[in-house]
Structure 1
Amino acid sequence: MTTDAVNAEFTEAAHTASTIAPTAPFFVVMNAGSGRKQADETRAVLEDELGAARRRFEMCVVDDPRELDAAAREAAEKARADRGVLVGAGGDGTLCTVAQAALAADVPFAVLPRGTFNYFSRDHGIPADLHASTKLLLDARAYPVQVGFVNDRMFIVNASLGLYPKLLEDRETYKQQFGRSRLVALWSAVYTLLRRHRHLHFHIEHEGRTREVRSSTLFVGNNRLQLEQIGMPEARAVEHGLLVAIAPRPVGRLAHLILSLHGAAGRLSDSDHVMSFTFDRITVTRPHASKAKRRRVKIATDGEIAWLDMALEFRVSERPLLLLKPEPAVAEANRS
C-alpha cells in the first residue's frame, strides 16, 4: 500500500465515530495537585450539569500524584464493567495517565481541561470552559485519536529526552515558588537555556537506516497545535498516522536561546540548526552501548518525568484512543 493510501485510510478512520449510550455513567479522575478549590469547583459543575441531565457519575480526587496511575486503572475497570466513560480532569500530564488507563481497558475517554496549556484538549476542539466541556460529555461521540508510546510509556502530546526534560523540571520548581502561569514558564525556560548544558550523542534507527545524532534534546511531537505554534511544516503529519521528531544541532547557549525564540515566534523551521523528520517507529540507542550495561535515561512525557532503560522505541500506538470530542467541523473551528 502506498503512503498516500495509508494516509487516506488513517484519515477516514479518524472521522469514524462511535455513539455513546445515553445512560453511560462517567468515572472522573482528577489530580488535586493544582488545589482543592479547583477540585471542589469541578465537582460542583459536574453535579450541576450531569445531575440536571440525570446522568450518573463518580469522581475520584487523587491527593498524592503517585497514586494517580492506580486510581485511573481502578476507575477504568469500573467504566468497563458498567459500559461507561473514563474522564480525566487536569492538565496534559494528568490526562495522559488517565488516557493510558482508558486505552488499556478499551473504554471511551473524555477530557475536562484544568491545566495551564491544555494542548491535547485544544487540539481536539474541546472547550476550556468547565461548563461547556462538561456539557459536551452528554452528547459527544467517540472518535479514534492517535497516541504515541516510548517503550511502554504513553504520550498524547509529546515525549523527549535531554534538555527538554530539564526545562520541565525547572519550570515546575519555579511554578511552586511563583505560581502557575505562562509568564513563569517563559522565564524559567530562559534561565535554563542560559545555563550550561551538554549535548547528547545517540543513534536513531529508522526504516532500516541508522543516523548518528548530536543534540541537546530529542523532541517527539504528537500534537498538531503545538507543532504549528513552533512553526514545523510537518505538523499535519500527526493526523495521518505519524509522529514528528525534532533535534536541534549542537550550538552554544546563546544560539540555543535564539533558536528557542524562533520556536516561540512560530519560525523554528526557518533555522538551519534544526533537524526534523516524520516516522511511525524509531529506535534510539547509545553508540557502543552493550546489552550488559543498559543505561537509564530521563524522559519527559506530557510534562511528567520518568527514567527508562535504553534502547528507547518511539512509536505510534497500534490501537487508537477513543476520545469524546466535537464533530470534526466544530472541533476544527474550536482549535486555538
Structure 2
Amino acid sequence: MPEPTLAPDAPLFIVLNAGSGAAETSERRTAIEDVLHAAGRRFELEVVEDAATLEEHARRQAGRARDAGGILVAAGGDGTINTVAQQAVAHRCPFGALPQGTFNYFGRTHGIPQDLTKAVHALLHASVQPVQIGTVNGHIFLVNASIGLYPKLLEEREHDKHQYGRSRVVAALSALKTLVLPHRRLRLTLEAEGRTRHIKTSTLFVGNNRLQMEQVGLSVVTPDVADGELAALAPKAVGRLGMLLLAIRGALGRLADADDLVAFGFHRMTVRTPVYARRRLKAAVDGEVLHLTAPLVFEALEGKLLLLVPAPGDAVAG
C-alpha cells in the first residue's frame, strides 16, 4: 500500500501542554510560532493550561485538522503525545509530535529531535508513515502499558518530581525507592498465540517501543515491534533483593541475562485474573494511570497512526 501524501502547505493544528510552568510554556510557544511564521505555514496553536481538558482540546483540534486536510500535532511528553495521538487515530488525520518530556521514547524511536526548534523544522519537511500502535481494552499506547508494580512506581515518581523537580536522577531514585518497599503480587493467566501461561509476578509490562527494549537489554529476547508484535515482560515472583537485582540489570542494559524474567512477543493477548481477585486493575498507559476491568486484552495494530517522520537529514539517532 502506498504511503499517504499531504499537501506541502497542509495546515498544522497544534496542542501544547502547559504542564511545565508559565515561563517555559511561553518559551515553547514562541519557538513554535517563530519557526512557522518564518516558513509562512498556516497553523493554529492551543495551549492547554489544565491537564484535565487535554483530551477535549485534542478532540477539537483533530476535528479541525480532518476538515481542513491538515495535521494534528502534539507538543509535550509521552502522555501528552498519547492523548493527542488517540484523537488523530479516531479522526483518521496525520499526526506530528514535538516531544518535550523527560524520556521521550516515542519521539526518539522515530528520529524526532528533542530540541523544539529543530523538531518544528523537521515537521515542515516530514513525510507520512503509518506506524504501529498497541491497545489495551480499547486504550491506545505508543510506548508501553502495564499493571502491578509499574503503575505504583509511576505514581510515586510523579509525587517525587513535584517535590524534587523533573530529572532522570529523580526518576531513577524514586523507582529504586518503590522497588524496595513491600508490594502486592499478581496471579495472572496469559493467553497469547495459542499458548496459556500461569504466572505470579509483581508487574506485567507490555512494550511497543524498540528503543526502550534495547536500553534495558531485551532486544535479543523480544521481537522488533516493526514486525507487528508487542513484547510482554514479567519478572517471576522474587523478593526485594531479586527485584533490586532486576532493576540493576535493566539499568545496565542486561535484562536478557535474568533467569527470573518471562518475555515473549505476541499480536493479541488476553490477561485474566483469578475469580477471587479484584477485577478492577490499576494500569499505566504511556505514563498515565487508568483503572481497567479484567480481563485485559492487549493487541498490536499495524499502521493505524499516520505519523509525520523526519526526512533523513532532519532525523536524530535515539
Of 244, 266, 270 in structure 2, the residue corresponding to residue 279 of structure 1 is 266
Deviates more, 1:279-288 or 1:223-232: 279-288
Matched, 1:90 2:76: yes
Residue 291 of structure 2 is matched in structure 1 by 307
Per the alignment, residue 91 of structure 2 pairs with: 105
Deviates more, 1:108-117 or 1:312-321: 312-321
Which amino acid in the other structure matches residue 335 of structure 1?
A
Kept in 1: contact 2:193–2:267 (CA 8 A): no
Q: 1:263 aligns with which of 238, 243, 250?
A: 250
TM-score normalised by the chain length of structure 1? 0.91
Pairing of 1:172-251 with structure 2 (within 5 A): 172-232=158-218, 233-234=220-221, 236-251=223-238
Contact 1:225 1:235 in 2 (8 A): no
| Higher share in helix | 1
Q: Report if aligned partners of 2:222, 2:264 keep a CA contact under 8 Å in 1.
A: no
1:146 alignment partner, SS class: strand
Instruction: Provide structure 2 residue ranges, at least 5 long, that are not aligned to the other structure.
Output: none
Partner SS state of residue 182, structure 2: coil
1:320 deviates by 1.8
**How many residues of Structure 1 are paired with residues of Structure 2 in the alignment?**
317
Aligned residue for 1:335?
Answer: 317
Residue 254 of structure 1 is aligned with which of 241, 255, 261? 241
Letter in 2 for 1:201: R
1:188 and 1:134, CA in 2 relative to 1: closer, same or farther beyond 3 A?
A: same
Report the TM-score, using the length of structure 2 for normalisation: 0.96
Return the alpha-carbon distance in structure 1 between the equivalents of residues 310 and 69 of structure 2: 21
Contact in 2 for aligned 1:223/1:235 (Cα 8 Å): no
Measured in 2, the distance between the counterparts of 1:136 and 1:260 equals: 35
After superposition, the Cα gap between the structure-2 partners of 1:179 and 1:323, relative to the gap in structure 1 and judged at 3 Å, is: same
C-alpha separation between the residues in 1 aligned to 2:288 and 2:313? 30
What SS class does the counterpart of residue 227 from structure 1 fall into?
Answer: helix
Gapped runs of 5+ residues in structure 1? 1-12
Q: Could you tell me whether the CA contact under 8 Å between 2:221 and 2:256 is conserved in 1? A: no
Provide, for residues 189-248 of structure 1, a one-character-per-residue CA deviation record: whole Å limited to 9, x for no partner: 111111001210011111233211110000000000000000002455201100000000
* Residue 19 (str. 1) matches residue 1 (str. 2): no
User: What is the CA distance between 1:33 and its match in structure 2?
Assistant: 1.3
Deviation of 1:54 (Å)? 1.0
Amino acid paired to 1:323:
L
In the alignment, the residues of structure 1 paired with residue 142 and residue 275 of structure 2 have an alpha-carbon distance, to the nearest angstrom, of 32
1:70-89 to 2 correspondences below 5 Å:
70-89=56-75
For 2:212 and 2:84, the matched residues in 1 are separated by 21
Helix, strand or coil: the match of 1:219?
A: strand
Task: Report deviation, 1:139.
Answer: 1.3
The sequence identity of aligned pairs, in percent, is 52
Distance 1:48 1:297, change over 3 A: same
What per-residue deviation string (whole Å, max 9, x for no partner) do you get for residues 296-331 of structure 1? 10000110000011110000125520111124x558
Q: What is aligned with 1:10?
A: none
Q: Distance in 2 between matches of 1:256 and 1:123?
A: 27
Aligned-residue offset at 1:87: 0.3
Deviations 1:242-274 (A, max 9, x none): 000000001001110111110110000101010
Alignment of 1:154-169 (within 5 A): 154-169=140-155
Q: Who is 2:121 aligned against?
A: 135
User: SS at the partner of 2:19?
Assistant: helix
Could you tell me how far apart the structure 1 residues matched to 2:65 and 2:50 are?
22
Cα separation, 1, equivalents of 2:193 and 2:214? 26
2:259 equivalent to 1:298: no
- SS of residue matched to 1:147: strand
Report how far residue 53 of structure 1 moved.
1.3
SS at match of 2:253: coil
Corresponding residue of 1:69: 55
Residue 44 of structure 1: aligned partner: 30
Whether contact under 8 Å (1:170, 1:192) holds in the other structure is yes
Deviations along 1:278-307, one digit per CA (max 9) or x if unpaired, are: 001000011236xxx971100001100000
